[in-house]
Amino acid sequence: MTVLADAILPSTIYKIKYRAVNEYGYSDFSEELNIGVASFPLKPNPVTKLLSESGSNFITLAWDKSLNTELPVIGYLINSD
């Protein structure tokens, strides 16, 4: 059975077996393996500058915390363009 990547659903457990192949044939199947796909957290809201807490040579930023799903949010990366 072949499963297409766009058919895999978050929060679902899949049971799979796999095997290798070369020019001499197929290997035996592996033991059954349980795999799952977690739901990703939603993208965060835009970052805002806190004018009252910023100065002439520094800025203070604020943003809403993203809610955890099965995958915890472990940090944020601020980029400037």
Per-residue pLDDT of the chain (81 residues; tens, 9 = 90+): 555 556 777 777 888 899 999 999 999 999 999 887 777 777 788 889 999 999 999 999 998 887 777 667 788 887 776
Stated pTM of the model: 0.44
Given the DSSP bridges, would you call strands 12-16 and 48-49 parallel, antiparallel or unpaired? Answer: unpaired
DSSP 45-75: PPPEE-GGG--SS---EE-PPPPP-SSPP--
